[in-house]
A and B are shown apart, each in its own frame.
Chain A
Amino acid sequence: MLRILLDKELRQFVRNPFLPKMVVMFPLMVMLVIPWVTTMDVRHINVSVVDNDRSPASRRLIRKIAASDYFTLRSVQEHYAVSLAALDAGDVDAIVELPDGFERSLSGGPSERVRISANGVNAVKGSLGMQYLLQVVNGTLSELRGERGLPPAADPVVVQNRYNPTLDYRHYMIPALMIMLLIMLCGFLPALNMVGEKETGTIEQINVTPVSRLTFTLAKLIPYWVIGLVVLMLAMLLAWLVYGLVPAGSFGAICLAAALFILTMSGIGVVAANHSATMQQTMFVMFFFVMIFVLMSGLITPVESMPEWARWITRFLPPRYFVDAMRSVYLKGSSVAELWPDYAALTLFAVLFNGWAALSYRKQA
């Protein structure tokens, strides 16, 4: 019985002028184009310099900053307050203060330190700007000290960037894009398919046949589970071929997380369809949740940066756990055992939504 129904679903899918094309083209487009968008390589950081030294050394440092591709030197001030006002107004992302006696301290005078202040509200521009400025300032300081026969200033802190030493933001985003694909394909499509039977009235015909509800629901879902996994494989293949990104962890751990998530997502789709009368309703409900999933699961902005109450909400979002598991396995090589809370949460969601899907379908008999 299930075979016959699956055959019907497959035929309907292949006959559809639009769906098969989309299932192939959409992942291709997303995987080939979007990673280039998600660069966090910040340029044009607006810098204001407060020069209290006005010496050849301080002017040289200012020239260095101005010459860098990463910075736009907005102004050279004499008072910190002026620069700070510009930072408050958002015209400047970072301020470099060169103290009076800066040059003397380079040739053995009393030590006077350069101060770098950055706007921490816009974390990306402010904090990255600070990092870049630190590099430029330190580089110039070493040069200046070297010319004066002093040893380069050593650093008491060593920073090691593990799992992504080149700080390639793309590697961080690619697993997230795969998740976005799965959210959309495995959420929207089963929901539309299910409610489509309702709108055209064919569901009535199915209801009077001896097909059990479970068989019917399974026949609806299995094709999308397959599609989801195929799309994931395709995306992983592209990630390897185009971006040279291979999972650091086990392939099995990724597949397990993905399988649980696809189950969850298609369950959500069927629940939405079962509780709606028209396609439009289904789609709006799904759309509402998909938007929240995409924007609040840590796909684009980290969950950690949200306020307390929003982080509490994210606990109820299945993709949040999948995002964490996927990124950890892909980039850090974490194991299922290390990520057991994520896997437990995904299992729970899968059971919950598929149980709900089965129950809510029964109600309409």
Chain B
Amino acid sequence: MKGSFMSFVRKETLHIVRDPRTMMIVLLMPVIQMVLFGFAISNEVNNIDVAVVAPHPTEAVRQAVERMSSNPYFTFKGYVPGTRVDATLRSGEADAVVVFADDYDRRIGAFSRGEGGEAALQIVFDASDTNTASAGAGYLRGVLLGGMSAASAPETHLLYNPQMKSSYSFVPGIMGMIFMLICAMMTSVSIVREKETGTMEVLLVSPVRPLRIVFAKMIPYFTLSCVNLLTILLLARFVLEVPMSGNLVPIVGLSLLYLVLALAFGLFISTVAERQATALIISAMLLLMPIIMLSGLAFPIENMPGVLQALSCVVPTRWYIEAVRKLMIEGLPLAAVLKELSILAAMTLVLIVVSLRKFNDKLE
């Protein structure tokens, strides 16, 4: 019996190895995506393009503009006439237009003496991108006034701490997303293909039990996923410089569990889908949305309405990301992620049991 099980594993492995293109994609895709997204995706607000309207470019105005253009977060796009404010924003030439008052010097002087009066400058922001607008407006104001403002108004500073690079704040999210989608796609397709081509029937009349066939299918994919996990962890550590302080064992353990969960998810999809195309659409398209949107990858779960917070609880990626964040980025010990760990384990168990049930029902 053992020999035939091993021959099944060999058969599946050959399937994978004979299709070098898919194997290359499966192994290289996570690497490229990890590097691209790890470095490229950030919530930082910078490179804000600013145009200026200055009817009387006095020395004080020029100094304010100079302060702004020498600031790394703003790009000075030049002076525009007051009539073109809207056009400049609409065409996307600038994200914001700063309008200096005609008698800027007099008004700003009044403010610095604490007298108040009419506003000395106006910042018109393209608020279609609300984040850039609300984050940029406060910062721009500080830079333009350059510490010179109403005597009683609060000073504001944005601190950019080199130790807190955001380059790796998305790493747990990217890991959770890549593993889930790739594993689900691989396993669901390989099982459904057997169904579609009719080879499943042939396998089932063989003396090997259906359960074993399924496990034999999983083993090579699990091995592939482990290679992916290794490369991703190495990238995270040495390329994206995630500190992973002495937490390697829990991270690996948790990730292995998550890989099994993702493979089980693929298995589950394969019991639902009758055709490869359907399996692929479910695992690549329908899963992509909830995984990106409801897992806390891009949008913090704590800010969602209650109903959606509840909904996000069924997305396994959510728990994995939370746990990896705690272990990898906050450097907490394994004890801190017991909740996430048990939820993931329970989900894995349920998925495997349900899928095998359905699988067996189909066969009889």
Contact = CB atoms under 8 A, between A and B. Distances in A.
Residue from the set B121, B131, B193 with the largest chain A CB neighbour count within 10 Å: B131
B227 interface: no
Contact of A157 (B19, B121, B157): B121
Contact of B154 (A106, A134, A333): A134
B159 A115 contact: no
The A interface, classified by DSSP as helix, strand, loop or mixed, is: helix
B133 A154 contact: no
A302 B131 contact: yes
Interface residues of A, number: 109
Residue from the set B163, B164, B274, B304 with the largest chain A CB neighbour count within 10 Å: B164
Nearest to A152: B116
Nearest to B273: A18
A152 B170 CA distance: 43
A250 interface: no
Contacts of A288: 25, 29, 32-33
A131 interface: yes
Contact of A90 (B37, B135, B164): B164
B123 interface: yes
Interface stretch (B4-12, B42-50, B51-59, B339-347): B42-50
B305 interface: yes
Nearest to B120: A156
Using C-beta atoms within 8 Å of the partner chain, give the interface range for chain B: 35 or more
B204 interface: no
B1 interface: no
Given A37-B294, A278-B19, A294-B292, A161 B161 contact: no
Given A172-B128, A180-B289, A305 B150 contact: no
Interface string A35-56: 0111111111000000000000
A338 B19 contact: no
B47 A304 contact: yes
A266 interface: no
A243 interface: no
Nearest to B137: A159
B152 A141 contact: yes
Contact of B131 (A138, A154, A169, A184): A169
A310 B36 CA distance: 8
B21 interface: yes
A117 interface: yes
Given A154-B116, A284-B25, A292-B33, A36 B132 contact: no
A77 interface: no
Contacts of A335: 90
Given A113-B155, A287-B185, A307-B39, A327 B123 contact: no
18 contacts: A18-B273, A34-B293, A40-B299, A42-B303, A43-B302, A124-B43, A141-B152, A157-B141, A169-B131, A171-B128, A188-B284, A192-B280, A280-B19, A280-B189, A285-B25, A302-B132, A328-B90, A338-B92
Given A127-B45, A128-B131, 9 more contacts: A18-B273, A90-B330, A130-B138, A154-B117, A164-B130, A294-B288, A306-B42, A328-B91, A334-B92
